[in-house]
Amino acid sequence: MKKNILYGILIILFISSVGFVVLKFNKKDNANNQYVLLDRVGVLAKMPEWQSTKTNAQKLANAIKANPKDLKAQISLANLFIIEARATGNYTYYDKAAMKNINNVLKTDPQNFSALTLKSLLYLSQHHFADGLATAIQAQSINPYNAFVYGILVDGNVEMGNYDSAVANAEKMMSIRPDLRSYARASYLREIYGDYPGAIEAMKLAVEAGAPGDESTEWCRVQLGHLYENIGDNKSAEMNYTIALDNRKNYAYALAGMARIALSNKMYDKAINYYLQADSLVNDFSFKEELVDAYQLTGQKDKAAATSKIVIDEMNINATGAAFDENIGHYADRELAYAYLKINNYDKAVEHALAEYNRRPKNIDANETLAWVYYQKGDYAKALPYMKVALKTNSKNPVLLCRAGLIFQKAGDKIKAKEYLEQAFKNNAPLPAYLKLSSQLALKEI
């Protein structure tokens, strides 16, 4: 699952349920290794919530100063850091800051439900999926009647490839509290199982359950737009991205959606501008990765190479942190595998794809990645069994179907190859240019 698609929604709504307060940046605190809120810059500093939350800053600062063992204040501070990571893309700093506060709470109260749920969210955010799931199970044993924790269990089980358990937890979550969070999870699970009409219906309910302009609502609206993209309905996709931008000005994820629409219409310069806008607002590797594709399509090889290097270097720094510090470090092996493929470094791509697979061998995305890396390397026999696992939920994602068709073709199964390729092209969904061309050529050869 893409980073923060679902547990990002959990973060937003959990924070709003316990209150949202801010600490001002203080050099003295920073020197004493006390994590503090960093000043926003540019457009992010003009967001309405930034001003309103800053008015509560001194209240929390005073509470922590007066009583360093105030667990509620420390949890609220961790909430703040998590949402700032999401808002700014500065996960390296804020995830570490939040984890420090959460661990401080758990030292005093190891069974603190709120702290455990936030720790689970942080693990998931950092792609420590097994740890995130284990922590969520611990939290659920403390409070089995909380909808929030079942959402985390959905996410953790999806990431670990336990899809039946994910469905069961989603049903439990829905029975406790049908809201934006539960509808969004139902949508994602339906998408995984190839039910795009059902996924769209559930995501519409998620959008309707939220307040227009709230980050969680517009995040769901962007996901709805992406679902429309995958069934070839660019008009509906663009409409949702436009509404999201109207409701939440300069919303980075909606800008990236507009970039994909422009890219599919071969308006490459427009797409690049949208990606650059999104990337300037939030530090999200996916924006840069898609920007690399846009640069390559326009023949800007130097810019594509330079952007790829930035992505690889930054992800490697985070991955190194994950190996040495339990409080920080984003496992990014799946993302690194694709990044290395873009620069034709197949050995490194295999290395990282295998690392991802070994952590969660039942997950369909991990299997798809390893299958595609082996295909690109020319090891078609090795690619096939992993692709078969990637297809086990009957996903109808057009990119997955194209890759499956190409791998089955090389494996000599023309019937399966034709079936998957024709499914991929059925709705004329946007596809990466190189993948679309390769798939069209393969269909002609079958």
* pLDDT for the residue 39: 87
* pLDDT for the residue 314: 87
List, for residues 211-235, the tens digit of each pLDDT value: 999 989 999 999 999 999 999 999 9
Question: In the predicted model, what is the mean pLDDT of residues 185-212?
Answer: 98
Question: Would you say 192 and 393 are in contact if contact means Cβ atoms under 8 Å apart?
Answer: yes
Q: Under DSSP, is residue 198 helix (H, G, I), strand (E, B) or coil?
A: helix
- Write down the residue that tokens 């020319």 correspond to: 378
DSSP 39: P
- Token output for 429: 């969904």
* pLDDT for the residue 342: 94
Domain ranges of the chain: 1-177
Which regions of 206-317 does DSSP assign to beta strands (E)? none
pTM of the complete model = 0.90
Could you give the percent of the chain with pLDDT greater than 70?
A: 88
Least reliable range by pLDDT among 49-58, 161-170, 304-313, 384-393: 49-58
Question: Would you say 179 and 211 are in contact if contact means Cβ atoms under 8 Å apart?
Answer: no
Least reliable range by pLDDT among 65-69, 113-117, 129-133, 305-309: 65-69
List Cα–Cα distances, 163 to 159, 168, 179, 193, 303, in angstroms. Answer: 9, 9, 21, 9, 40
Over the chain, what is the mean pLDDT?
89
Residue 191 pLDDT grade (very low, low, confident, very high; cuts 50, 70, 90): very high
Residue 33 pLDDT grade (very low, low, confident, very high; cuts 50, 70, 90): low
Distance in angstroms (rounded) separating the CA atoms of residues 281 and 89: 8
Q: 64-68, 327-331, 417-421: which has the highest mean pLDDT?
A: 417-421
* pLDDT for the residue 327: 55
Topology of domain 1-177 in CATH is 1.25.40
Residue 28 pLDDT grade (very low, low, confident, very high; cuts 50, 70, 90): very low
Least reliable range by pLDDT among 26-30, 176-180, 342-346: 26-30
List, for residues 314-336, the tens digit of each pLDDT value: 888 876 655 556 555 678 999 99
The set of residues, in sequence order, having a beta carbon less than 8 Å from that of 134 and lying 6+ positions away, is none
List, for residues 373-399, the tens digit of each pLDDT value: 999 999 999 999 999 999 999 999 999
List Cα–Cα distances, 161 to 110, 129, 253, 357, in angstroms. Answer: 28, 10, 26, 11
Distance in angstroms (rounded) separating the CA atoms of residues 22 and 55: 8
- Token output for 362: 């039942």
User: Other CB atoms closer than 10 Å to residue 323's CB: what's the count?
Assistant: 8
Least reliable range by pLDDT among 9-18, 225-234, 284-293: 9-18
- Token output for 313: 């270097």
The set of residues, in sequence order, having a beta carbon less than 8 Å from that of 142 and lying 6+ positions away, is 111, 113, 116
List Cα–Cα distances, 118 to 10, 141, 181, in angstroms. Answer: 10, 15, 16
Question: In the predicted model, what is the mean pLDDT of residues 290-315?
Answer: 94
Q: Which of 90, 87, 125 is nearest to 251 (CA)?
A: 87
Q: Is the dihedral of CA 411, 413, 416, 419 positive or negative?
A: positive
